[in-house]
Structure 1
Amino acid sequence: MTQFSKTLAFLAIGVASSTVAVGQTSTPIGTDAQMNLNALATSPATSNVRMFDNRYQGVKGSPYFLEAWVPGTVELKTNNTGKSEVFKDLRLKYDVFTNLLFAVLPQTKDTIQFSTAPVLTFSLELPTNPSPLLFTRLKEAKALDPALAESFFAVVLDSEGGKAKLVKRVAKSKIEANFKGAYSSGQAYDELIDETQYYVVANGAMRRVKLNRKSVLEALPDQAEKLKSFISSQKIAMNSETDLIKVVAYSQTL
């Protein structure tokens, strides 16, 4: 039995081997691609492999960025070599609440879960987006708040020519049940709710922005007057992600 076959057998009982996957950042195709996917199933990143469980049973709301499995790509660190390996042709699901990533291997259809610790980036191909949505860690996040050091941020608008970029963190918070009896008016179930947070990254710093004019002007103080005029002339309400994208995109032209 090959090592990969053994690993798949272990998957059935929730155990994986820890064979090391080695390689540089690349875009593998054909046989190389399948070898890389096989390596993903046996890499240290998947040493905590397990199948889905019922931990969210009875909880209202979803822990996932998207309920559906979507095509995606994952870039993993290769030990301490400073190199990385890119795994394509996966179907991914991101558990935002626990910061875990799930993948379905295309050939075997096995579902694996791996810690996000070795993950550098991952991208999801969304039906509503013309291009894949990239998730990445940001070095500026730790300086803003050490609790954000391991968080992944979706790149809503990438930087142009070193100008400001817009990212968001799709977090989930849990409201605990407060059920004290059959006739209680309290909350009878645990509930997960969305807490999307937007950030502008500019000049080596990261600032949180809310969906209002005052917040975005404070995040880009050097351009505040021009942005204020732009918002007024374009009659931008500043109450949606689309509005925020328009303003940050305009800031990149200044």
Structure 2
Amino acid sequence: MKKIILFALLIIGKISFAQTVSVNGTVTDQNGKPVAFAFVSDSQHPYATYSDQSGAFSLQADPASNLIVTANFHNEARVKLDNPANVKVVMTAGEAPKQDVTTKTTVANFFKPDENLVDHNVSINRIGTGQEGLHGSRFLFNDWVHGFAVTPQDSLKQSDVYLFNYDKVGGNLVFTRNKTTAMLVVKQEIKGFTLFDENAVPYVFEDVPAINAKRYVEVLSAGKKYKIYKDLGTTFIKANFVTNGITSSGNNYDEYKDESVYYVVKQGGQPQKMEPKSKAIKLAFAADADKVKKFLSDNEGEIDDNYLKALGDYLNQ
């Protein structure tokens, strides 16, 4: 009987340990000024985010954990979650970040040089061979951004001196430490990553071989019932303008053209393609027909990424 009670207590302890709470707070320096893009992480789990330009942040975290906060030119801060709804982190001034902070234990087989992306800035600012210049980009962001990765063992990979971007052509995560030399992440070493744009808006990616074994796919929405994915690929099309003086065809510019395919995964199921159209959405979420009908009725307009994210979040409530 004692063994049964002990076993039950262990199970309850594990369940409680796995529970998370919504954490909201701000990061400031000793003068009360906001610290933008401070990395905020759970000390025991791979839950993390960045503060925005006003120093505000929010994430799910284990209430039994501490928050670890790091930022360039500041000393690391650790905060207990005594009041998850209003966490105030005050960071003290620290030394400038060192470019050689990477260690064998953190990145020895995590990154490798990519000779095809030696100078990332040149690739981003490519002019193009056509008279109208280059349209589009092979990269998700126009500049390097903050981010972090998660390994198959659920450990975080992050450093305040790393900046990232997503290569839409190869479907790879690339990083830099000096904005000059780009390196390619070893795909087998991470199962997902999150990148944050200039407004600290997160873009979440996962390795989902059932959708695409060659590149990561973006997670638009994830919950207890559904996941909505976006498989974003980009094709390079050279300028192909021709004319005989009377008729003409083609474009007078090089172009990176995005091609997105959307997928829905029901809990315990396999990915199913879904076109971003009302009829296809009704078929994909037939099990929640009433809720889908109400959402479509209440939300008119273009069915884009933001629309699908809102739909998924609504159905997962």
Mapped contact 2:148–2:156 kept (Cα < 8 A): no
Matched, 1:100 2:166: no
Question: 1:38–1:71: structure 2 CA closer, same or farther, 3 Å change rule?
Answer: farther
Code of the residue aligned with 2:184 in structure 1: it is F
Code of the residue aligned with 1:133 in structure 2: it is Y
1:1-254 paired onto structure 2 within 5 Å: 34-36=101-103, 40=107, 43=109, 45-48=111-114, 51-52=118-119, 58=128, 59-76=134-151, 86-89=157-160, 90-105=162-177, 111-118=181-188, 119-130=190-201, 132-141=202-211, 148-159=212-223, 162-180=224-242, 185-203=249-267, 204-232=269-297, 234-237=298-301, 239-253=303-317
Mapped contact 1:99–1:116 kept (Cα < 8 A): no
Mapped contact 1:74–1:88 kept (Cα < 8 A): no
The structural deviation recorded for 1:112 is 3.2
Question: 1:182–1:62: structure 2 CA closer, same or farther, 3 Å change rule?
Answer: farther
Aligned to 1:17: none
C-alpha distance in structure 1 between counterparts of 2:243 and 2:105, whole Å:
51
Aligned to 2:86: none
C-alpha distance in structure 2 between counterparts of 1:88 and 1:202, whole Å:
34
C-alpha distance in structure 2 between counterparts of 1:169 and 1:93, whole Å:
16
Mapped contact 2:106–2:157 kept (Cα < 8 A): no
Q: What does the per-residue CA deviation read over 1:50-87, in whole Å, with 9 as the maximum and x for residues that have no partner?
A: 6227675525321000111111113456xxxx686623
C-alpha distance in structure 2 between counterparts of 1:229 and 1:120, whole Å:
35
User: What secondary structure is seen at the aligned counterpart in 2 of 1:239?
Assistant: coil
Question: 1:249–1:101: structure 2 CA closer, same or farther, 3 Å change rule?
Answer: closer
Question: 1:37–1:190: structure 2 CA closer, same or farther, 3 Å change rule?
Answer: farther
Question: 1:128–1:165: structure 2 CA closer, same or farther, 3 Å change rule?
Answer: farther
Question: 1:35–1:128: structure 2 CA closer, same or farther, 3 Å change rule?
Answer: closer
The structural deviation recorded for 1:175 is 2.8
TM-score, normalised with respect to structure 2: 0.55
Q: What does the per-residue CA deviation read over 1:157-201, in whole Å, with 9 as the maximum and x for residues that have no partner?
A: 221xx2112222232123343245685543344311122333222
User: What secondary structure is seen at the aligned counterpart in 1 of 2:135?
Assistant: coil
TM-score, normalised with respect to structure 1: 0.66
Where do 5+ consecutive residues of structure 2 fail to align? Answer: 1-44, 49-67, 71-75, 77-96, 129-133
Question: Matched residues, percent identical?
Answer: 23
Mapped contact 2:233–2:260 kept (Cα < 8 A): yes
User: What secondary structure is seen at the aligned counterpart in 2 of 1:247?
Assistant: helix
User: What secondary structure is seen at the aligned counterpart in 2 of 1:228?
Assistant: helix
Aligned to 1:3: none
Q: What does the per-residue CA deviation read over 1:117-152, in whole Å, with 9 as the maximum and x for residues that have no partner?
A: 22322211123455x3221112542xxxxxx12221
Aligned to 1:6: none
Code of the residue aligned with 2:196 in structure 1: it is E
C-alpha distance in structure 2 between counterparts of 1:174 and 1:68, whole Å:
19
Mapped contact 1:153–1:167 kept (Cα < 8 A): yes
C-alpha distance in structure 1 between counterparts of 2:240 and 2:283, whole Å:
39
Where do 5+ consecutive residues of structure 1 fail to align? Answer: 1-24, 142-147
User: What secondary structure is seen at the aligned counterpart in 2 of 1:150?
Assistant: coil
C-alpha distance in structure 2 between counterparts of 1:230 and 1:181, whole Å:
49
Looking at secondary structure, tell me which structure has more strand per residue: 2
Mapped contact 1:212–1:238 kept (Cα < 8 A): no
Aligned to 2:62: none
Mapped contact 1:64–1:94 kept (Cα < 8 A): yes
**How many equivalent pairs are there?**
211
